[in-house]
A and B are shown apart, each in its own frame.
Chain A
Amino acid sequence: MSTYAQKKGFGATVWDYLTTVDHKKIAVLYLIAGGFFFVVGGLEAMFIRIQLAVPNSDFVSAGMYNQILTMHGTTMIFLAAMPLLFGFMNAIMPLQIGARDVAFPFINALGFWLFFFGGVFLNLSWFLGGAPDAGWTSYASLSLASEGHGIDFYLLGLQISGAGTLMGGINFLVTIINMRAPGMTYMRMPLFTWTTFVASALILFAFPPLTVGIFLLMFDRLFGSNFFVTAAGGNTIIWEHLFWIFGHPEVYILVLPAFGIFSEIIPVFSRKRLFGYSSMVFATVLIGFLGFMVWAHHMFTVGLGPIANAIFAVATMAIAVPTGIKIFNWLFTMWGGSIKFTTPMYYAVAFIPSFLMGGVTGVMLASAAADYQYHDTYFVVAHFHYVIVGGVVFAILAGTAFYWPKMFGTMLNETLGKITFWLFFIGFHLTFFIQHFLGLWGMPRRIFTFLEGQGLETGNFVSTVGAFFMAAATVVLVINIIITTVKNEKVGNDPWGDGRTLEWAIPSPPPFYNFKQLPLVRGLDPLWIEKMEGKKGMTPAEPLGDIHMPNASFIPFVISFGLFVAAFGAMYRLDYGWGLPVLIIGLLITFGSMFLRSVKDDHGFHIHKEELIDEDDKGVKA
């Protein structure tokens, strides 16, 4: 047993995490940072619901409300949901394909720190004159008119964290293409790996349009260009296109990994292989592909004309087909199975009808002529929360319970887990179901208050009550995590007992090199195959040998910190004399450390065969 980590002091542990390039530790960093931002975004949601509990409320002011709603959306999408999923991708995907790390460990760390500094920068806006207030979509005419630096925080913060996400996506793609264990063909990859692969491909193609859009808007605001200034011949509709060419695939970037997590959980607790594996893979790829063909359905009321609207309406409806295939495949995986209702399985089972609700309202929204009524109302708010909470957040909560033992070596408490589930499930439907009707009754979205006598009082109050249930669920989850961490009862390789894929074949948490010997994969669900033949673990595909590992590095942190500094300089350049020097200093830090990285040879290190054998002996004694 390795006692290396326990011997270290607090400072050394912090330094270890600041410099780590180990995918499992980076996963933990993603979970911590993403979890923190999830709580921040959740608090913002609570402010929103408290403000809207009663008509004419003055809990928060109109201007403040717009900042809160903008930050709620931006935080939840960019700083909570995506990083949390990145956490699971980092922690699990390399294990599932039998790899010792991702393809570019250094870039993996860089991706995290870029996201982190971007997120911190964006949230510092609260303390530095006000947060962005033009909605997470930041439509150009409004964001150009917005005073103060709120929108600048949005632009620079997302630019930095977006670069991190793009790097992460490319890294996962290369990892999956190149680093699969012997025998792990594409059509033997677990669904979570497949969805990571497709989501990463979506990131690769969807983030550049966002980067371009943000870049143009940044130049309009900070450097006097006129891309979106109508009076100077610019066009604000271009921003809407750029944003949604990114924004729609973004939905699938979030929901495909969520599908992946459920596609792992359902077979494990049904003790049955995934029904229609190849059609699941096909559906995943098809959803990813169609995801790029439908962005204008967010713009039906912009006035693109009936031809564009009709085409995008039909294209959007088409996405329902592969999504439906998935729903039925999950159901028929459970059909004839032997279902054990654990906490992760609770979420997986509840996900099916909840997400279905979001899916069918999606088809209703696709009907362009009817969408003129739904667009920008609470109906849309209800729809996308059903998709993102009922799909993505359920998956994150399920994944937390499911993979916690693999990541930390201890089991979260099942009773508390089920309490969290019920609170969250009831709260979720209570909050969002009624919002469909609020929208149909004429309530536009993004309003800081509503007036009496419009029939909107009861619905809004019910919705607020539901939000408190979800908040309570989150509190129980945090308590659960603390109790579990304090107790620290260690578990074995396969704590759920029915693990099917490679990650369950190695210790929990895995050693830093993951696999002593790369495993030989003989089919889909490789561990299950071995188990069914009465073997305890995987057959190695190679003799025991030296393992090549990357060195830890502080440079990713410094590169990201430089951009963080530069962002302040860029923003305050016109206000203060120190702006320009700070911009230059920040960029020098970034490019200087990149240069250092380029000229300094870093060959990593080897774990020698003898050490691996030693550890085996110790393990036997312990």
Chain B
Amino acid sequence: MKKLAKWRLFSLLALMALILSGCGKPYLSTLQPAGEVAQRQYDLMQLSTIIMVGVIAVVTIIFLIVVFRFKRKDEQIPKQVEGSHKLEIIWTVIPILLLLVLAVPTVIETFRLADVSAMDEVNEDGKTDALVINVRASLYWWEFEYPNEEIVTSQELVVPTDQRVYFNLKASDVKHSFWIPSVGGKMDTNTDNINKFWLQFDSKGAEKANELFYGKCAELCGPSHALMDFKVRAISSDEFDQWVASMQGIEEPVQPETALAQEGQELFNQSCIGCHAITPNNASPEAARVAPNLTDFADRAYVAGILENNEENIKKWLEDPETLKPGNKMSGTYGELTPKQIDALTAYLMELKVKE
């Protein structure tokens, strides 16, 4: 008996786990929408799922009746039926009606989600009132440029919650696709043109996700396509304004404090700085920005978009980026680093903060 009770408890727990995991993680799942776009898409999903489950139910009932009732019992030849106009009209017209129920909201939402007119409304300064972010995807990292604020950051998108954020999307090498599952469906970053769309980040959803959403590349782009992740820090608009101000405040590279970090800075300035900028202004042309901007590196939650940002992982990354992200463009651009050099660089990188 005791054994049985244990099993019952176990299966109950398993069921609970299944239900809880049934919606995925709040920072990654489309089933836990954390923004207007994702919510509208979730509603469409629900509507279509309800219609489709209804269709499946009807077919299943007929199916089960047929399979169980009309099993061969004797060798009699059944009546040969040609068809039935009435039935055929029924199963032509009803699906059409059901599809109309889905088609109308689909068309409405498709137009609503494509409405980026706010991006064209320019004020006296030649800037938009709306927050616009230029996203540029490269093998295998993301750059986020805030043209109105004149700052550039990488790998970690910072956005204010509860307002629409508009995006210009493009790719610099091959095609990628920009996707933040729990905030809203994706759009491709093409090599040919700039795509525009908008997202809105819910403060409540952000809270559930610990203010950090996961972003993904959704278009096969090479060996490390699976690892081309980015993160989204969704904060209140006050915090966002603060962040922008402190980013804008950095006109010269942040000066390290410890001796080790200063050593690291020297190393950085000899080699890394050729590709990695450490100031947020965007004076240099896009083509020259060939690697992630590291201005606020130490504030970011992840290294290279995939590893938790801590000393150990930074060292791992510097030592052997190829194993961690196969085919990335940093591998092989610098000679082998001594452990001391890695320590120094790590110390330096860990001091690249803009947050107070």
Interface residues of A (CB under 8 A from B): 61-63, 65-66, 134-135, 139, 141-142, 145, 230, 235-237, 270-273, 275-279, 301-303, 305-306, 309-310, 313-314, 317-318, 320-321, 324-325, 327-329, 331-332, 334-341, 349, 352-353, 356-357, 360-361, 363-364, 366-377, 437, 440-442, 444-451, 454-455, 458, 532
Contacts and interface: CB of A to CB of B under 8 A. Distances in A.
Given A442-B24, A451-B306, A62 B223 contact: yes
Contact of A440 (B24, B59, B214): B24
A370 B225 CA distance: 23
Q: Which 4 residue pairs of A and B lie closest in terms of their CB atoms, listed nearest first?
A: A372-B185, A441-B24, A447-B226, A369-B109
A145 B138 CA distance: 13
B91 A62 contact: no
14 contacts: A142-B174, A275-B81, A324-B55, A331-B62, A337-B70, A339-B66, A339-B72, A363-B99, A369-B40, A369-B112, A370-B44, A444-B179, A444-B226, A458-B21
A302 B219 CA distance: 11
Interface of B: 21-25, 28-31, 38, 40-41, 44-45, 48-49, 51-52, 55-56, 59-60, 62-63, 65-67, 70-74, 76-84, 87-88, 91-92, 95-96, 99, 102-103, 106-107, 109-114, 169, 171, 173-175, 177, 179, 181-182, 184-188, 190-193, 195-196, 214, 216-227, 229, 306, 326-327
A589 B41 CA distance: 57
A270 B326 CA distance: 56
Given A301-B187, A321-B96, 16 more contacts: A63-B327, A142-B221, A230-B191, A273-B82, A324-B55, A329-B88, A331-B62, A337-B70, A349-B67, A356-B56, A375-B185, A440-B45, A442-B28, A444-B217, A445-B220, A455-B24
Nearest to A447: B226
B354 to A, nearest CB: 27
B109 A318 contact: no
A329 B91 CA distance: 9
A446 B109 CA distance: 28
A67 to B, nearest CB: 10
B191 A236 contact: yes
Contact of A325 (B92, B111, B114): B92
Which of B59, B74, B177 has the most CB atoms of chain A within a 10 A radius of its CB? B59
Given A335-B70, A370-B45, A448 B223 contact: yes
Given A325-B88, A441-B24, A371 B185 contact: yes
A373 B174 contact: no
B57 to A, nearest CB: 11
A62 B59 contact: no
A371 B84 CA distance: 36
A370 B41 contact: yes
Nearest to B48: A364
A270 B192 contact: no
Contact of A303 (B65, B79, B190): B190
B128 to A, nearest CB: 20
Contacts of B327: 62-63
Given A305-B114, A373-B181, A375-B186, A331 B66 contact: yes
B110 A310 contact: yes
A327 B56 CA distance: 11
A272 B81 contact: yes
Given A62-B224, A310-B106, A364-B49, A275 B44 contact: no
B193 A317 contact: no
Contact of A321 (B31, B99, B109, B179): B99
A317 B51 CA distance: 13
Contact of A338 (B70, B81, B107): B70
Contacts of A276: 82-84, 88
Contact of A367 (B48, B59, B226): B48
Nearest to B96: A321
B25 A306 contact: no
A132 to B, nearest CB: 12
A372 B70 contact: no
A310 B107 contact: yes
B91 A328 contact: yes
B342 to A, nearest CB: 23
Contact of A142 (B60, B110, B220): B220
Contact of B59 (A327, A361, A441, A451): A327
Which of A63, A370, A372 has the most CB atoms of chain B within a 10 A radius of its CB? A370
B186 A301 contact: yes
Contacts of B28: 441-442, 454-455
B62 A135 contact: no
B171 A141 contact: yes
Which of B23, B102, B112, B224 has the most CB atoms of chain A within a 10 A radius of its CB? B102
A455 B21 contact: yes
A442 B186 CA distance: 11
A369 B110 contact: yes
A332 B87 contact: yes
A446 B220 contact: yes
Given A275-B83, A321-B92, A442-B24, A376 B186 contact: yes
A334 B217 contact: no
A273 B72 CA distance: 16
Which of A235, A325, A352, A367 has the most CB atoms of chain B within a 10 A radius of its CB? A367
Contact of B76 (A325, A331, A338, A448): A338
A372 B184 contact: yes
B222 A66 contact: yes
A139 B103 CA distance: 29
Contacts of B71: 339, 341
Nearest to B74: A338
Contacts of B83: 275-279, 329
B52 A360 contact: yes
Given A237-B190, A353-B63, A373-B185, A442 B29 contact: yes
Contacts of B106: 310, 313-314, 317, 366-370
A377 B180 CA distance: 12
Contacts of A142: 174-175, 220-222
B326 A61 contact: yes
Nearest to B189: A303
Nearest to A267: B80
A368 B40 CA distance: 12
A66 B223 contact: yes
A325 B186 CA distance: 34
A324 B218 CA distance: 32
B70 A377 contact: no
B102 A363 contact: yes
A135 B190 contact: no
A441 B30 contact: yes
A341 to B, nearest CB: 7
A440 B29 contact: yes
Nearest to A459: B21
B330 to A, nearest CB: 15
